Amino acid sequence: MSRAHKEKEQEVRQYYRALYRAWGAQHWWPAETRFEVIAGAYLTQNTAWNNVELALANLRAANVLSVEGIRSVSQARLEHLIRPSGYFRQKAKRLKTFVSFLDTTYGGSLDHLFSRPTSQLREELLSLNGVGPETADSILLYAGNHPVFVVDAYTRRILDRHSILPAKADYEEIRALFEQALAPVAHKQPAKVAAQLASAIHGAAHPPSAMSTAARMPLAQVYNEMHGLIVGVGKNYCRKTKAACEECPLRPFLPAP
Ligand code: SF4
């Protein structure tokens, strides 16, 4: 491993520590059940989270926010219910495809699905229609508590602006960087990180939920927190058109112009 790569890892670790010190636990993903996380991971593609919440509320009110519910609801009704999330025909088909895959391969059991080895399950999810790396990893990490880091557009923007990796870097290269960088954090501070609950909402934090407070291995907890913290930076400071560096907790790490 080159020294430059080690330095990048060190820097990512420093980002984690600085952000966690500033904002604490982020309580991702906001959901009461594993299937709610999965549905949210599909619905959030190409839309804002507010729209996803409307679609999820419709599914909940119709009592179909579950494997059984999606299996039994008609395609047309499902499209109607998730309409607020946009691309509703495509997303309805994809949710149906997921449940069909679950039924065919795992007898409809999420327990069975998530008991598979991470790499095997990741490949299977990536083979489904409409599941790219970000959706697959969101499902693995936030629904299944598998230790994989979720790379999103905010992650790319921050790495690019800090001259760590270009915005167009390969997804797997970014994922590997974060996973290698954060592994020692989980190793050193498992109890503290896993047990700490937020007393206030900072960054991109959500109120504690059944899924956010579920027991998980320290590595998955650290990846969970780091993704939430990165979203907080992206939403509040590192915006696409204008970066508000002066107030950002990552300002001390910004390279000199
Ligand atoms: S807002 Fe500025 S300091 Fe913060 S992450 Fe973006 S580029 Fe870095």
Model pLDDT for residues 88-145, shown as the tens digit of each residue = 999 999 999 999 999 999 999 999 999 999 999 999 999 999 999 999 999 999 999 9
Q: What confidence score (pLDDT) does residue 196 get?
A: 47
**What band does 204 get if pLDDT is binned at 50, 70 and 90?**
confident
Helix ranges (H only) for 164-246 are 171-188, 190-195, 218-236
Q: DSSP letter at 115? A: T
Q: What confidence score (pLDDT) does residue 3 get?
A: 53
Q: Is 59 in the pocket of ligand 1 (CB under 6 A)?
A: no
Ligand 1 centre from 242 Cα, in Å?
Answer: 10
Residue 2 structure tokens: 């080159």
d(CA 152, CA 228): 11
Q: What confidence score (pLDDT) does residue 155 get?
A: 98
Length of the chain: 257
Domain ranges of the chain: 3-29+149-253, 34-143
Ligand 1 centre from 81 Cα, in Å?
Answer: 38
- Give the list of residues 6+ apart from residue 133 with CB closer than 8 angstroms, or none: 126, 151, 171, 172, 175
Name the closest-CA residue to atom 7, ligand 1. Answer: 161
In the predicted model, is pLDDT for residue 191 greater than 70?
no
CA distances 216 to 123, 213, 219, 221, 246, Å, are 22, 9, 8, 6, 35
When comparing pLDDT for 215 and 87, which is higher? Answer: 87
Fold of 34-143: Endonuclease III; domain 1 (1.10.340)
Q: Is 238 in the pocket of ligand 1 (CB under 6 A)?
A: yes
What pLDDT, in 10s, does the model give residues 145-189? Answer: 999 999 999 999 999 999 999 999 999 999 999 999 999 988 765
Rounded mean pLDDT of 218-228?
95
Which H or E run includes 21?
A: helix 3-23
Q: Is 237 in the pocket of ligand 1 (CB under 6 A)?
A: yes
Rounded mean pLDDT of 13-35?
94
Q: Which of 11-20, 106-115, 193-202, 203-212 shows the lowest mean pLDDT across its residues? A: 193-202
d(CA 57, CA 75): 18
Of ligand 1's listed atoms, the one at least distance from the Cα of 237 is 1
What pLDDT, in 10s, does the model give residues 40-75? Answer: 999 999 999 999 999 999 999 999 999 999 999 999
Q: What confidence score (pLDDT) does residue 1 get?
A: 45
Of ligand 1's listed atoms, the one at least distance from the Cα of 251 is 3
Q: DSSP letter at 25? A: -
